[in-house]
Amino acid sequence: MAGSKGEDCCGGSPSEGACEATATGRCPECSVVASKVGLRTVRSLVLPSLAQGVTEEQHYFCSEPGCEVVYFAPASGRSFSRAELSIRVGVKESEDPIPVCYCFGHTRGSISVEIAELGRTKVVEEIRAEIAAGRCRCEVANPAGKCCLGAVIDVVRELEDAVEDSPAEE
Over the stretch 101-120, which tens digit does the pLDDT of each residue have? 999 999 999 999 999 999 99
pLDDT at 128 over 70: yes
pTM for the model? 0.83
Q: Domains in the chain: how many in total?
A: 2
Do 143 and 98 share a structural domain? Answer: yes
Whether 1 has a pLDDT exceeding 90, the answer reads: no
Please check whether residues 33 and 93 belong to one and the same domain.
Answer: no
Confidence of residue 21 (pLDDT cuts 50, 70, 90): very low
To 10 degrees, the CA torsion angle through 135, 139, 143, 147?
A: 70
Query: 114 and 64: one domain?
Result: no
Cross-strand bridge partners of residue 106: 101
**Gap between the Cα atoms of 42 and 59, Å rounded:** 8
Write down the pLDDT at residue 4: 39
Checking DSSP bridges between strand 24-26 and strand 69-73, what pairing results, if any?
Answer: unpaired
Q: Is 45 inside a domain boundary?
A: yes
The region of weakest confidence among 7-11, 72-76, 97-101, 132-136 is: 7-11
**Residues 68 and 114 both lie in one domain:** no
User: Which of 86, 110, 125 represents a domain boundary (last residue)?
Assistant: 86
Q: Answer yes or no: is pLDDT of 11 > 80.
A: no
- Shared-domain flag, residues 114 and 93: yes
Answer yes or no: do 25 and 65 share one domain: yes
The answer to whether residue 7 scores a pLDDT higher than 70 is: no
* Residues 150 and 111 occupy one common structural domain: yes
Candidate from 9-18, 68-77, 158-167 with smallest mean pLDDT: 9-18
Domain boundaries, position 47: 16-86
